[in-house]
Chain A
Amino acid sequence: MAKQMAKDPQKTAVVTELQVIEGNALNIPMYQLLKEDGSVHKGAELPDIDKELALKMFDTMQFIRVLDERMIAAQRQGRISFYLSSLGEEAAAIGSAAALKFEDMIMGQYREQGSLAFRGFTIEQFMNQLFSNAKDLGKGRQMPVHYGSAELNFMTISSPLGTQIPQAAGYAFGQKQSGDKTCTLCYFGEGAASEGDFHAGMNMAAVLKVPAIFFCRNNGYAISTPAAEQFAGDGIAPRAVGYGMKAIRVDGNDIFAVYKATQEARRLAVEENEPVLIEAMSYRMAGHSTSDDPTGYRSREEEEARRVREPMIRFRNWLVKQGWITEEEADAQQKAHKDTVLAALKEAEKVDVPHVDEIITDVYAEPTEALKVQLEELKAHIRKYPDAYPNTSGGVK
């Protein structure tokens, strides 16, 4: 079918019987290849993934789990101010990133550390950002987990929700114009999909036919608010149809299904300039962040019931059965990640905060005269009261 056109009222089919279309008329099923125990559905066609890629995906998953667990502990110990875990959603992030080309842009929300790790963000880079130190690519300016890397085509995270969605449409439009056959993949939560920016971005992407993949992680919660209080319909995927956009609903805990869904979405985006909305069904197994305590709004029983569907065991069982990894090798890999993560944490902790001169850079391409004056006044002030500004006073002697 050609791209849907705005309806000409003259050409709309006419009925004489009043029809009320149900709000849940579009009940989109969920694409799944791997069952919860890691066995393959009968007749299901696995993606074309070789051993090397499969093991890289698994290794990234194990790494992220270790990183998340360790950094939650580090926050509890007061070593960093904040952390946000992706526990239970690793397959959605890693499976989708793996299906992209490295040149494709990724715009994240904040719970997609798996994609960034898959792209090659090093443990040192993670730690430097988390400790807001002088080696952080973001110059210590943003809260922990607001990563970004131009080299890795991963746009720096911004806290205000949904803002990246119309930006993804614009970025992808530029990619289309440049003719370089790349696309933009934009992650966001089912909560963020309530923002006005979601509507704006989806509609513009569909109308302007941009090579973008809108990847919604539906993990059931926006902080304390369950999906049932977020929207009344059948979730996020059906909304695409209203915009004249293609949609896929996928099991976000099945890394193979996510990979295949994203691969097809990428083909549609890049080859046919058809943006695609993917809704990946998952569950936020951890608290929203270290500032949150989920016992205030959901039960242990619910969490336990969802745990069996988590993505890593499923993938691991498949890999073991396939003979691509042994249980012992998988355990050893995890242990090795624990050691690297801890060592990197201890290193990053020792690095100073950025020099105070950085406080005025990047507000504009060049600091204004007024900002330079403010910096000089600030430095004079720090020299006068060095003990009050211990993190930077050493640098202004």
Chain B
Amino acid sequence: MAKMNLLQAINSALDVAMAKNDKVSVFGEDVGHFGGVFRATSGLQEKYGRARCFNTPLVEQGIIGFANGLAAQGSLPVAEIQFGDYIFPAFDQIVNETAKFRYRSGNEFNVGGLTIRTPYGGGIHGGHYHSQSPEAYFAHTPGLKIVMPRNPYQAKGLLLSAIFDPNPVIFMEPKRLYRAAVGEVPEEEYTLPLGKAEVVQEGSDVTVIGWGAQVEVIERAAELAKKDGVSVEIIDLRSILPWDVDTVAKSVMKTGRAVVSQEAPHTMAFGSEVAATIQERCFLYLESPVMRASGLDTPYPLAHEKEYFSDHLKTYEAIKRSLNY
């Protein structure tokens, strides 16, 4: 075990994967010698050489198209998109190519070796284009897996699973927590399951569901609720595609109430899917409608970041709405 922040945990996962299998390579804008603008790939080029850790030209559609080809050839590329906000030039490659490679060829070909890493989320004074949470766009695409870790331990175990999973995975990293989240992480290889949620805190009155950086926000909201005598069960989805319906449904059938707290704009964020599924699976157990705390339905603003953000207070208020319905 070692104390690592989230970036160090990701760096450690990449290091372990590259040491274990020489088909693993890491590339993207500025990831080579410099080690990435957040330094997630620091030291990897020195250790594994320029053929396995390198800078690409500045072209996201190229990075993912190239990675698709490399994965089809049998490699295990880990492609970095510098910010989640800049993944959209690669949208076609991801949605129409990555996600459908296996299906359209009748499994003659696949890009299952591909992992796409990208930082997401706000709270860093990033304005419109360094703050977005674009997971829902991709969650609407069968064939992709989407993973969003909340802390260093999760990040390493989930990233190692993602790299060696036989399906393409988009791995979204909460950049707000890159240096802020610190925890004990094993230095050696270990994995955490994809598609499985984790009950972070057990409780009996209401289930609050989140993923990625938002789990920390939910924990703060649960503290406030606790002062009111409310016992909150917190679920971290960890993967949003495929997602762990059973763990969520079991919890909601126990507590009878559910709240989703999410960073992305309210309309059509992944919480909409969670809420719809809960009402299908748990309708007769529900004491109140599923409540949501989300970002506003606007682009992500700079000066009004605090007001826009679905923070612990808005999450706490959603918990109260659920309880006092």
Q: Which of B89, B266, B297, B313 contacts A385 (CB 8 A)?
A: B313
Contacts of A291 in B (CB 8 A): 37
Q: How far, in Å, is B54 (CB) from chain A's closest CB?
A: 8
Q: How far, in Å, is B309 (CB) from chain A's closest CB?
A: 10
| Assembly CA distance A231 to B58 (angstroms) | 10
Determine if B29 and A132 form an interchain contact, defined as CB atoms under 8 angstroms apart: no
Nearest B residue to A292 via CB reads: B37
| Assembly CA distance A141 to B126 (angstroms) | 10
Say yes or no: is A2 at the interface (Cβ < 8 Å to chain B): no
Q: How far, in Å, is B100 (CB) from chain A's closest CB?
A: 20
Say yes or no: is B88 at the interface (Cβ < 8 Å to chain A): yes
Q: How far, in Å, is A112 (CB) from chain B's closest CB?
A: 18
Nearest A residue to B33 via CB reads: A297
Determine if A359 and B308 form an interchain contact, defined as CB atoms under 8 angstroms apart: yes
Determine if B58 and A192 form an interchain contact, defined as CB atoms under 8 angstroms apart: yes
Say yes or no: is A229 at the interface (Cβ < 8 Å to chain B): yes
Known A143-B130, A197-B89; contact A374-B57, beta-carbon cutoff 8 A: no
Q: How far, in Å, is B145 (CB) from chain A's closest CB?
A: 26
Determine if B128 and A141 form an interchain contact, defined as CB atoms under 8 angstroms apart: yes
Nearest A residue to B296 via CB reads: A374
Determine if B58 and A359 form an interchain contact, defined as CB atoms under 8 angstroms apart: no
Determine if B296 and A359 form an interchain contact, defined as CB atoms under 8 angstroms apart: yes
Q: How far, in Å, is B12 (CB) from chain A's closest CB?
A: 20
Contacts of A192 in B (CB 8 A): 58
Nearest B residue to A297 via CB reads: B34
| Assembly CA distance A392 to B126 (angstroms) | 19
Say yes or no: is B85 at the interface (Cβ < 8 Å to chain A): yes
Nearest A residue to B312 via CB reads: A388
Determine if A360 and B298 form an interchain contact, defined as CB atoms under 8 angstroms apart: yes
Determine if B314 and A381 form an interchain contact, defined as CB atoms under 8 angstroms apart: yes
Contacts of A133 in B (CB 8 A): 303
Say yes or no: is A320 at the interface (Cβ < 8 Å to chain B): no
| Assembly CA distance A303 to B99 (angstroms) | 45
Instruction: Write out, one digit per residue, whether chain A residues 359-393 have a CB within 8 A of any chain B CB (1) or not (0).
Output: 11001000000110010001001101100110110
Contacts of A142 in B (CB 8 A): 127-128, 302
Q: Which of A132, A191, A230 contacts B303 (CB 8 A)?
A: A132
Q: How far, in Å, is B307 (CB) from chain A's closest CB?
A: 6
Determine if B125 and A354 form an interchain contact, defined as CB atoms under 8 angstroms apart: no
Say yes or no: is A334 at the interface (Cβ < 8 Å to chain B): no
Interface residue range, chain B = 35 or more
Known A143-B126, A359-B308, A381-B313; contact A224-B30, beta-carbon cutoff 8 A: yes
Say yes or no: is B59 at the interface (Cβ < 8 Å to chain A): yes
Say yes or no: is B304 at the interface (Cβ < 8 Å to chain A): yes
Known A196-B61, A230-B57; contact A378-B127, beta-carbon cutoff 8 A: no
Q: How far, in Å, is B126 (CB) from chain A's closest CB?
A: 7
Instruction: Write out, one digit per residue, whether chain B residues 50-92 have a CB within 8 A of any chain A CB (1) or not (0).
Output: 0000010111111000000000000000000000011011000
Instruction: Write out, one digit per residue, whether chain A residues 92-134 have a CB within 8 A of any chain B CB (1) or not (0).
Output: 0000000000000000000000000000000000000000110
Determine if B297 and A371 form an interchain contact, defined as CB atoms under 8 angstroms apart: yes
Determine if B126 and A391 form an interchain contact, defined as CB atoms under 8 angstroms apart: no
Instruction: Write out, one digit per residue, whether chain B residues 21-47 have a CB within 8 A of any chain A CB (1) or not (0).
Output: 000000001101111010000000000
Nearest B residue to A222 via CB reads: B58
Q: How far, in Å, is A7 (CB) from chain B's closest CB?
A: 27
Q: Which of A223, A353, A359 contacts B298 (CB 8 A)?
A: A359
Contacts of A392 in B (CB 8 A): 304, 306-307
Say yes or no: is A225 at the interface (Cβ < 8 Å to chain B): yes
Determine if B59 and A196 form an interchain contact, defined as CB atoms under 8 angstroms apart: yes
Nearest B residue to A163 via CB reads: B89
Nearest A residue to B311 via CB reads: A388
Nearest A residue to B317 via CB reads: A381
Known A231-B57, A391-B303; contact A195-B127, beta-carbon cutoff 8 A: no
Known A159-B85, A195-B89, A370-B297; contact A229-B129, beta-carbon cutoff 8 A: no
Say yes or no: is B299 at the interface (Cβ < 8 Å to chain A): yes
Contacts of A225 in B (CB 8 A): 29-30, 32, 34, 55, 57-58
Say yes or no: is B301 at the interface (Cβ < 8 Å to chain A): yes
Interface residues of B in 73-130 (CB under 8 A from A): 85-86, 88-89, 125-130
Determine if B59 and A159 form an interchain contact, defined as CB atoms under 8 angstroms apart: no
Interface residues of B in 281-321 (CB under 8 A from A): 296-299, 301-304, 306-308, 311, 313-314, 317
Known A159-B85, A363-B297, A385-B313; contact A143-B29, beta-carbon cutoff 8 A: no
Q: How far, in Å, is A190 (CB) from chain B's closest CB?
A: 9
Say yes or no: is A356 at the interface (Cβ < 8 Å to chain B): yes
Say yes or no: is A24 at the interface (Cβ < 8 Å to chain B): no
| Assembly CA distance A143 to B307 (angstroms) | 16
Nearest B residue to A80 via CB reads: B125
Say yes or no: is A39 at the interface (Cβ < 8 Å to chain B): no
Determine if B298 and A196 form an interchain contact, defined as CB atoms under 8 angstroms apart: no
Determine if A194 and B301 form an interchain contact, defined as CB atoms under 8 angstroms apart: no
| Assembly CA distance A16 to B189 (angstroms) | 61
Say yes or no: is A31 at the interface (Cβ < 8 Å to chain B): no
Contacts of A230 in B (CB 8 A): 57-58
Known A382-B307, A389-B307; contact A222-B125, beta-carbon cutoff 8 A: no
Contacts of B58 in A (CB 8 A): 161, 191-192, 194-195, 222, 225, 230
Determine if A146 and B85 form an interchain contact, defined as CB atoms under 8 angstroms apart: no
| Assembly CA distance A391 to B304 (angstroms) | 8
Determine if B62 and A223 form an interchain contact, defined as CB atoms under 8 angstroms apart: no
Q: Which of A141, A158, A360, A385 contacts B302 (CB 8 A)?
A: A141
Shortest Cβ-Cβ A-B pairs, 10 listed: A140-B303, A224-B34, A159-B129, A194-B57, A143-B127, A81-B125, A132-B303, A353-B303, A191-B58, A194-B58
- State the B residues within 8 Å of A (CB): 29-30, 32-35, 37, 55, 57-62, 85-86, 88-89, 125-130, 266-267, 296-299, 301-304, 306-308, 311, 313-314, 317
21 A-B residue pairs with CB within 8 Å: A81-B125, A132-B303, A140-B302, A143-B126, A143-B130, A146-B127, A158-B129, A159-B85, A224-B34, A225-B29, A231-B57, A296-B34, A297-B33, A353-B304, A356-B304, A359-B296, A360-B298, A370-B267, A371-B298, A378-B296, A389-B307
Given contacts A359-B304, A374-B296, 13 further A-B contacts (CB under 8 A): A140-B303, A142-B128, A143-B129, A159-B130, A225-B32, A225-B57, A297-B34, A360-B298, A371-B296, A374-B266, A381-B313, A385-B313, A392-B307
